[in-house]
DNA sequence: GGAGCTTATATTGTATACAAAACAAAATGC
DNA sequence: GCATTTTGTTTTGTATACAATATAAGCTCC
């Protein structure tokens, strides 16, 4: 199995976004390297990439840690989403067609299915599926740069929810996703934008200012 | 002089943004390394960082090149700016005060001064100063994430202008910057946003995005 | 027993060594 | 002469070695 830096980065990112790796967990270079059977060189590249995405903090001479967003950062992440997602939505609305609506409905069905499943694995998949709806909309906007910005915002949001989330969050979100897509389908862009902002408000309202959990076991989190 | 990866990254980025490094230029690891008296390790880290910012393309087994945005990418960069900058501007307008206005006016004065100077160095500084006005506004918005997005957009815009720019671009832009700040000062946010969109339109209008990709194939074929 | 210093251990930072791939040039065959 | 193969050189990809720093453990002194 040939593993490169991208593979390691993706594996760690997925673990962070699906909250198998708790914020604050130390990502030792040698540990990660031995898990993937590669040298520290590739691990460092992966960790550096993740630090650009804001998912990992690299402290000089101390090592890399799963990011631990402050409350201020959390607020800024959601503020950014409130500002950017409506304009992306408007852009997407201009280009949306039957095929795109169908694609979004597939995502919603996925969410619905996972919501009815039991178990931790289903919960993690649901978290990812929830973010994927937002990313699918960004994809429809047709702007690769905005899509990348959303990638980062969604990933970091997941981290914030892991830290400060009260309930399992996304449970209340699915209905709102559906309403947004409904509004898009009937070409009511203003309503869709309003619903989107409300949706983001709801996610943020579910957060709490409680301190974080401790780091979890690296190996089990990466499923290795 | 202790040089770390950040320093190298910043130096190369500045060279790209100020257009001393032409798009397509190959950035050999050993060459850059010997230039800074460091090993390839640090150079690789710097190039990887720049590739994440979209200023450098890293091709597997071939090396790193100053990015060479396609026409589509160029259009998407300006589309993103048209969408994001107005919302940033609104956010900034809410927090702006006398001190911030004064700070912006300093930037404008800088632009004015450089505009009246002769020589290539002044032109490069003017390019940078022009972008700095947009970044200063993003800074005032108080959202570090949006500021980072703008950092990337401004830097990549500079690259696009280097490739497709007709005139020395920013010459026509200064007056518009001034008008935007004026509108901000009299708290006419709608006007400021309209001016901002117009400003971005003007920059893009000065580009020659119709013609097939100029000397691109030639330059890369010559590997310069 | 605990604060502060000293030593030991582990981890990161950087350079270098070697392998693999791409590139350029010379040699070969037609 | 032209296309193709072969060889040699350069450049990147990855692992490893060594230096510098931080962390942990042990020790002294009060």
| pLDDT tens string B82-105 | 999 999 999 999 999 999 999 999
What's the mean per-residue pLDDT of chain B? 89
The DSSP line for B146-212 is HHHHHHHHHHHHHHHHHHHBSS-GGGGHHHHHHHHHHHHHTT-HHHHHHHHHHHHHHHHHTB--SSS
Q: How much is the pLDDT for A124?
A: 85
Please tell me the distance from the alpha carbon of residue B6 to that of residue B48, in angstroms, as a whole number. Answer: 11
Largest Cα–Cα separation, chain A: 55
For residue A193, pLDDT beyond 90: yes
| Domain A5-68 fold | Arc Repressor Mutant, subunit A (1.10.10)
User: Which nucleotide is at minimal CA–C1' distance from B32?
Assistant: D11
Measured between CA atoms, how close is A116 to chain B, in angstroms?
A: 35
Strand partners, B64: B27, B58
Measured between CA atoms, how close is A71 to chain B, in angstroms?
A: 13
| pLDDT tens string B4-51 | 999 999 999 999 988 889 999 999 999 999 999 999 999 999 999 999
Residue of A40, A81, A38 whose CA lies nearest to A64: A40
CA A6 to C1' C15, whole Å = 24
The residue written with tokens 């022009």 in the block is B130
Write the ipTM.
Answer: 0.89
**Chain A residues touching B149 at Cβ < 8 A:** 80, 149
CA A68 to C1' C22, whole Å = 42
Does A186 contact strand D, using a CB cutoff of 7 Å? no
- Structural domain spans, chain B: 5-67, 71-205
The reply to whether CATH 1.10.357.10 applies to domain B5-67 is: no
What's the mean per-residue pLDDT of chain A? 90
Please tell me the distance from the alpha carbon of residue A47 to that of residue A131, in angstroms, as a whole number. Answer: 22
Residue count of chain B? 224
Angle at B39 between CA B35 and CA B41, to 5 degrees: 120
| pLDDT tens string B130-143 | 999 999 999 999 99
Q: What distance lies between CA A163 and its chain's CA centroid?
A: 13
Please tell me the distance from the alpha carbon of residue B176 to that of residue B147, in angstroms, as a whole number. Answer: 21
Contact across the interface for B80 and A146, Cβ inside 8 Å:
yes
The residue written with tokens 């943004």 in the block is B17
SS3 at position B209: coil
| pLDDT tens string A22-51 | 999 999 999 999 999 999 999 999 999 999
**Domain A71-205, second-level architecture:** Up-down Bundle (1.20)
Instruction: Compute CA distances B111 → A172, B92, B98, B132, B195, whole Å.
Output: 50, 21, 20, 10, 18
- Among A76, A87, A144, beta carbon nearest to B76: A144
Q: What distance lies between CA A183 and its chain's CA centroid?
A: 24
Q: Residue B209, Cβ neighbours under 10 Å: how many?
A: 16
Measured between CA atoms, how close is B157 to chain A, in angstroms?
A: 12
CA B45 to C1' D17, whole Å = 20
| pLDDT tens string B51-75 | 999 999 999 999 999 999 999 999 9
For residue A167, pLDDT beyond 80: no
Please tell me the distance from the alpha carbon of residue B12 to that of residue B16, in angstroms, as a whole number. Answer: 6
Q: Who has greater pLDDT, A1 or A155?
A: A155
């Amino acid at each position: 199995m040939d593993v490169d830096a991208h593979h390691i980065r993706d594996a760690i990112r997925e673990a962070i976004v699906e909250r198998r790796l708790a914020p604050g967990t130390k990502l030792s270079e040698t540990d990660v390297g031995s898990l993937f059977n590669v040298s520290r060189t590739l691990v460092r590249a992966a960790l550096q990439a993740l630090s650009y995405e804001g998912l990992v903090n690299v402290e000089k001479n101390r090592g890399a840690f799963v990011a631990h967003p402050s409350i201020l950062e959390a607020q800024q992440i959601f503020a950014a989403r409130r500002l950017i997602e409506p304009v992306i939505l408007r852009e997407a609305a201009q280009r949306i067609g039957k095929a795109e609506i169908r694609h979004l409905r597939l995502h919603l069905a996925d969410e619905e299915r996972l919501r009815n499943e039991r178990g931790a694995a289903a919960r993690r998949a649901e978290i990812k599926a929830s973010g994927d709806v937002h990313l699918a909309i960004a994809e429809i906007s047709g702007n690769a740069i905005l899509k990348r910005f959303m990638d980062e915002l969604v990933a970091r949001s997941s981290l914030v929810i892991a830290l400060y989330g009260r309930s399992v969050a996304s449970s209340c979100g699915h209905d709102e996703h559906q309403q947004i897509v409904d509004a898009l389908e009937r070409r009511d862009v203003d309503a869709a934008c309003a619903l989107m902002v409300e949706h983001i408000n709801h996610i943020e309202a579910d957060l709490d200012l409680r301190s974080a959990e401790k780091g979890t076991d690296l190996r089990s989190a990466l499923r290795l």
